[in-house]
């Protein structure tokens, strides 16, 4: 059985996995029960265990939306365009989400997915430095394109669920060229939940949020530390109506429990 898991993992990481060979029936039911299309990939730190639904979609590059806040936060901190405690001043413009219509710290901007905050940081970083960093960290297609403040939302940047996992594993092991202080700050910022037995670090994403065109792209990406291992997950799904957005976290948490990780 262990050899089968290792073979499946190797095929996935080489982007030639067969959905019929590796598809996890329990994960597939999470999507079919909700009548949504998507993929979910769960892998542990050393790559000896993997659970996967829809390998073809898992290898498909998509807009990262707010999941780009992982590298974006690190880049902003490393470039010194913001500090962890600095206040980003709201300009008084109402932007839909009530939680974003006020001054923000980096932590609250991350948690609340405040687009305007990270657009302000993007202007401070600039296209040239993004081009440098995205290549350095091998993030997705590493292409910010010409649209400085929207390239992760509606521009040229693309990343697959498989690439999200690879990026997060490098992030966790501090294998990316960022300063220790930047890693530490992001770790504090991205903590979602801490309970006896585990700590969850994650970020949602929603490409096309508030737009009429469908399907839109929903993400939930991150990792969970248990007492014995670290498990990385990347879910993306087609969102055809607003209520679908809640399924992102629901399915990941159910999957982690189904697999005995939580």
Mean pLDDT of the residues in the chain: 92
Q: What is the pLDDT of residue 15?
A: 42
Centre a 10 Å sphere on the Cβ of residue 157 and count the other Cβ atoms it contains. 25
Whether the Cβ atoms of residue 92 and residue 146 lie closer than 8 Å to each other? no
Count of positions (residues) in the chain: 262
Phi, psi of 167 (to 5 degrees): -60, -45
Angle at 204 between CA 89 and CA 223, to 5 degrees: 115
pLDDT for 128-164, tens place per residue? Answer: 999 999 999 999 999 999 999 999 999 999 999 999 9
Cα Rg of the chain (Å, integer):
18
Q: Given 66, 113, 160, 182, which residue is catalytic?
A: 66
Please give the Cα distance from 235 to 254 (Å, whole number).
12
Active site residue 66: yes
User: 3-state class of 201 per DSSP?
Assistant: strand
Q: Give me the number of domains the chain comprises.
A: 1
Helices (runs of H) and strands (runs of E) counted in the chain: 11, 6
**Residue 145: which domain range?**
2-258
Please give the Cα distance from 153 to 164 (Å, whole number).
16
- Which residues face 89 on adjacent strands? none
- Which residues face 205 on adjacent strands? 219
pLDDT for 159-217, tens place per residue? Answer: 999 999 999 999 999 999 999 999 999 999 999 999 999 999 999 999 988 676 779 99
pLDDT for 77-121, tens place per residue? Answer: 999 999 999 999 999 999 878 999 999 999 999 999 999 999 999
Q: Which of 45, 33, 70 is nearest to 258 (CA)?
A: 33
pTM, entire model: 0.90
Q: What is the pLDDT of residue 129?
A: 97
- Give, as one character, the DSSP assignment of residue 212: S
CATH value at residue 215: 3.40.710.10
User: 3-state class of 77 per DSSP?
Assistant: helix
Q: Which of 76, 124, 116 is nearest to 96 (CA)?
A: 116
């Amino acid at each position: 059985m262990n050899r089968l898991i290792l073979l499946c993992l190797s095929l996935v990481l080489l982007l030639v996995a067969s959905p019929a060979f590796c598809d996890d029936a329990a994960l597939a039911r999470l999507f079919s029960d909700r009548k949504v299309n998507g993929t979910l990939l769960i892998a542990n730190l050393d790559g000896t265990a993997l659970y996967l639904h829809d390998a073809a979609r898992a290898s498909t590059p998509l807009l990262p939306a707010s999941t780009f806040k992982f590298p974006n936060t690190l880049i902003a901190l490393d470039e010194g365009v913001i500090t962890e405690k600095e206040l980003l001043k709201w300009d008084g413009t109402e932007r839909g989400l009530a939680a974003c219509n006020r001054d923000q710290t980096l932590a609250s901007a991350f948690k609340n997915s405040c687009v305007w905050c990270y657009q302000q940081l993007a202007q401070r970083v600039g296209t040239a430095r993004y081009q440098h960093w995205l290549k350095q960290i091998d993030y997705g297609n590493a292409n910010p394109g010409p649209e400085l403040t929207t390239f992760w939302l509606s521009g040229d940047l693309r990343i697959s669920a498989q690439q999200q996992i690879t990026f997060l594993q490098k992030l966790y092991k501090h294998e990316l060229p960022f300063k220790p202080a930047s890693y530490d700050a992001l770790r504090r910022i991205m903590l979602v939940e801490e309970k006896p037995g585990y700590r969850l670090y994650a970020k949602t994403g929603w490409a096309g949020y508030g737009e009429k065109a469908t399907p839109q792209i929903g993400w939930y990406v991150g990792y969970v530390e248990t007492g014995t291992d670290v498990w990385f997950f990347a879910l993306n799904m087609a969102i055809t109506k607003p209520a679908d957005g809640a399924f992102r976290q629901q399915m990941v948490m159910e999957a982690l429990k189904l697999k005995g990780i939580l």
